[in-house]
Structure 1
Amino acid sequence: MIDLQTIFDQAVQDCQLFLELLDREQDALARHDMTELERLLDAKSPIIKALSLHDQAIAGWCQQAGKQAEQTMEGFIDSLGQPQLRQDYEAFRAALLRCQDANQRNARLVRHSQHATTHLIDLLRNQGESSQSVYDRQGLTSRAGSQRPLTKA
């Protein structure tokens, strides 16, 4: 069985690869490059699987080493009395947090892009606030907006 330190090292390397892909994804999202986004999605899939396998390997190693269900991972690592292992675990956690932050950043970009696209489509359909009462469904100017009394303006 592979030792825990090696698993952490491999997991950190995979996190770094994943983070690089997330950074490229951010750039592709900003450029609205759908072809690149598809390529990145295909490239991210095996790394996500590898990270999942690392998670399973860590859990299996810890179970075999006697980690109790109620024991935290930090507590278990500390109980092993290996300072280098604790450093490797912290490096792994930090890499995971960087990936999580980058993934959330990209999710915000996607949501913002979806909102902007929806707003533009609504404007084209004459359903948005800025174009309301300007054109009717036949593309003619609406006269309803100009007939408001000044007291309601």
Structure 2
Amino acid sequence: MIINCPCGEKYFNVNPNLIPDKGRTLKCGSCGKKWFYKNENTSQEEEKNPYKFKQTTTSKESVDNIKEFQNDSENDEIRNTTKTTKKIKNKNKKNLNFFKIVFVIIISFSALILLLDTFKIQISNIYPNIDFLLDSLYETFIDIYLFFKDLVN
């Protein structure tokens, strides 16, 4: 069963078994209003089949009236046709967050350092000072770590 808040903004789908015949006090989750709700339909059969269908028969006259109406509507001219053009903003715009970009750069930089450290011997044949540069880079990382550790304390 669907119950609406007295403020008229929210509708709630509530199981009818949760509301006793005497009624229950309800509270809206968005506006905070409290009200007493009593179930007016107590018969279970109406809740099981809330839709009642009527058997109707159509006569030839009603079918002819419908056909005439369709023919009349086809002959009418379309009036007041105006086109409105508005720029529709694309709501699926990809927002590149600054922290996401910084995170990707840090991961890429650490992957590059791991590759250089892994192939240090092979790279030293081409660039002999790579061992010295990696050692100084590691010392720089240790200094930055100690700086932030002292900053926190």
TM-score (norm 2): 0.24
Pair member with larger Rg:
2
Answer 1 or 2: higher relative contact order, Cα 8 Å, separation at least 6: 1
* Greater helix share, structure number: 1
Normalized per residue, the structure richer in strand is 2
